[in-house]
Structure 1
Amino acid sequence: MKLESFLLEILVCPQCRSALAEGGTEEHPELLCTGTDCGLAYPVRDGIPVLLVDEARRQG
Structure 2
Amino acid sequence: MLDRKLLDILVCPVCKAEVELNREKSGLVCHKCKLEYPIQDDIPVMLPDEARSLEAGAEEKD
Normalising by the smaller structure, the TM-score range is 0.7 to 0.9
Aligned Cα root-mean-square deviation (Å)? 1.4
Gaps of at least 5 residues in structure 1 are none
**Does the CA contact (< 8 Å) of 2:2 and 2:43 recur in 1?**
no
Matched, 1:45 2:40: yes
Q: How many matched pairs? A: 55
Q: Offset at 1:3?
A: 1.7
Gaps of at least 5 residues in structure 2 are none
Q: Offset at 1:9?
A: 1.1
> Could you say which structure has the higher strand fraction?
1
Give the % identical residues.
44
Corresponding position of 2:22? 23
